[in-house]
Amino acid sequence: MNVLIIEDDQAIQKLLKKTLEMLPQKFNIHHTDSAAKALNLAENSKIDFFIVDIQLVDYKGTDLVKQLRAMPIYMYTPIVFETAVLSEELYAYRELKCFYYLVKPYTQLECLKVIQDVLKYLSHIQIDEQKLRIEQKGFIFEYLLKELLYIESFGKKLCLHLKRDGNVRKEMISSFSLKGIMELLDERFIQVHKSFIVNKDMIEQIDKVDQTIRLRNGQPLIPIGLKFRHSILRIGENK
């Protein structure tokens, strides 16, 4: 599990690291005092949860978290804020969906309890990870991954093709790219074309001649893009 601590006080950094080391779970602990460096770390490594000081050496922790929340992969990642100033507490909870707020000075016991709560939350999410969660205009929509046949791109909008209780339906979502939505899916999904992602469990036949994929349930044929041909044909060999 990857944890990123963004804190400029070395004594507090040590306290947080010691607290994490008290737990039975194994952590890869990353730490920095810079929001810019933290953003770079988050872009190059998948972080499972963040501990963020509000006042950093370059710019505010709340501004950093706003940038993180704009990335699909971190829309719902647990983020614990820590600060000695309570003026932004409501903003942190309401706008940035922070998991908890540690008020300095805090004890190791307080810190331990918060981290344990984060781990319980993450454990629950892992059990329930068969769902795709999408936020649209302040609302959160959930879709069972086993019901998701394929995703089709239309410019700045995506169409989710789902099957439930024998009925196929379409759901349109905006402000997501195929790359962004792919980060929220698990290993059963694969991009097969610049405009299509399919559920590998739903593939019935791969036509190497016509370069198309036939899905179960009588869905339209899905084209295979030249860029994705090699990885798709490997799936065909294993089916």
Give percent of the chain with pLDDT exceeding 70.
92
Q: How confident is residue 36, by pLDDT bands cut at 50, 70 and 90? A: very high
Q: Which two tokens stand for residue 218?
A: 């009588």
**What is the length of the chain?**
239
Check if the beta carbon of residue 4 is closer than 8 Å to that of residue 30. Answer: yes
Give the separation between CA 68 and CA 43, rounded to whole angstroms. 9
Cα torsion 64, 66, 72, 75: sign: positive
Say whether pLDDT at 202 is over 60.
yes
**131-238, CATH topology level:** OB fold (Dihydrolipoamide Acetyltransferase, E2P) (2.40.50)
Tell me where in the chain the CATH 3.40.50.2300 domain(s) lie: 2-127
Pairing of strands 79-83, 100-103: parallel
User: CA-CA distances (angstroms) from residue 234 to 151, 154, 228?
Assistant: 21, 27, 10
Tell me where in the chain the CATH 2.40.50.1020 domain(s) lie: 131-238
pLDDT of 126-179, one tens digit each?
Answer: 544 577 888 887 788 888 888 899 999 998 899 999 988 778 899 999 888 898
DSSP letters, 204-231, are EEEETTTTEEEESTTPPPEEPPGGGHHH
What number is the average pLDDT over the span 68-91? 81
pLDDT of 118-128, one tens digit each?
Answer: 998 887 665 44
What number is the average pLDDT over the span 84-104? 75
Write the burial class of residue 200 (CB in 10 Å: 0-12 exposed, 13-18 middle, 19+ buried). Answer: middle
> Token match 């933290």: residue?
38
Of residues 126 and 22, the one with the higher pLDDT is 22
What number is the average pLDDT over the span 44-67? 91
Q: Note every long-range contact of 208-217, with CB atoms under 8 Å and residues 24 or more positions apart, other chains counting.
A: 208/233, 208/236, 215/149, 215/150, 217/149, 217/163, 217/168
Superfamily covering domain 2-127: Response regulator (3.40.50.2300)
Q: What is the pLDDT of residue 90?
A: 60
Of residues 20 and 208, the one with the higher pLDDT is 20
Give the separation between CA 169 and CA 167, rounded to whole angstroms. 6
Of residues 209 and 51, the one with the higher pLDDT is 51
